[in-house]
Amino acid sequence: MTDSEIKAMVSLLEDDDIQVLDHIEKQIFSLGEDIIPYLEEEWTRQLSPEVQKRIENILQSLNYKIVRARLLDWTQNDSKNLLKGMWIIATYQYPDLLLEDLQKKVEQLYFDTWVDFKADLLPADQVKLLNGIFFNKHKFKANTSSIKAVSNSMINNILETKKSNPIGLCVLYILIAQKLKLPIYGVNLPNVFIVTYKTPELQFYINVFNKGLTYLRQDIENYIMNLRINSRELFYEPCANIDIIRRVMRNLIVAYEDIGNAHKVADIQQLLDEISE
């Protein structure tokens, strides 16, 4: 379709005929994300609230389809890229967010950390130094006042506000640590997400939400015992990036439930179900 044909088609969203609207919406969805700029331009016109809401609903549906396609492709082909997975989740709330912008910010964080880092230290001292840079220099901290906030699951918000829930802080910690060539990975511990420093010879755990407090395996075993649940090996070992993204999505569901947004709860739950099969 030509530019003028698309604009003419989009303008028909002002029509009150249900059959016309159904036909136009089907054509719009067939064009996919290419039609989004036309819809956004139409929305800025002086339209009735009803027509603007109609366009907003179409934009939301189109964005959901885009997020779904990206997420499924990521899980199958690119799950080693944790930042990209977090970006995909964030684009559900922020459709215009660019992966390149996030990459630049994380790269700058890494560089600012690398300047002060010393690779020849013992592992415990490396982590202590990393903690000092992460929490004192960069000022990242636990979001204890709004633990259920949607922003905790949005990587762009975390980078901007420098606070998040346990898994949000851990994601950034992991991204920087792995760029420093440190063997640090996420651990899917019940109730709190932590990270582990693991090599064939050494393993210990780091609670990023508690300013990098370190633990040994026995401490984790005691924690599990106090929860009165059966111990499982996955509570002690590194988890896959897809497990991290799933947990972020579960947190996001709780966040949307907390503010009463049933539509977004249903959207994220459907996406989570698709990558959990």
Q: pLDDT tens across 31-49, in order?
A: 777 788 888 887 787 677 8
* 99 plus 54 within the same structural domain: no
Residue 87 CB partners (closer than 8 Å, separation 6+)? 97, 99, 102, 155
Residue 154 pLDDT exceeds 70 = yes
Rounded distance, CA 13 to CA 140, Å?
Answer: 46
pLDDT category of residue 168 using cuts at 50, 70 and 90: very high
Rounded distance, CA 196 to CA 8, Å?
Answer: 57
Domain of residue 29 covers 3-76
* 140 plus 152 within the same structural domain: yes
Q: Which pair of tokens denotes residue 151? A: 């922003």
Domain stops at, among 76, 96, 130: 76
* 118 plus 152 within the same structural domain: yes
User: In the predicted model, what is the mean pLDDT of residues 262-269?
Assistant: 96
With both helix axes pointing from N to C terminus, report the angle between 3-11 and 36-43 in degrees, rounded to the nearest 10.
Answer: 50
Average pLDDT, the chain: 92
* 167 plus 266 within the same structural domain: yes
* 140 plus 13 within the same structural domain: no
Beta bridge partners of 142: 164
* 67 plus 96 within the same structural domain: no
* 70 plus 103 within the same structural domain: no
State the pLDDT at residue 1.
Answer: 64
* 191 plus 206 within the same structural domain: yes
What predicted TM-score, i.e. pTM, was given to this entire model? 0.90
* 137 plus 268 within the same structural domain: yes
- Assign residue 242 a region: left if phi > 0, alpha if psi is -120 to 50, beta otherwise? alpha
* 183 plus 229 within the same structural domain: yes
Query: How many other C-beta atoms are found inside a 10 Å radius of the C-beta of residue 207?
Result: 20
Nearest to 224 by CA among 198, 258, 251, 187: 187
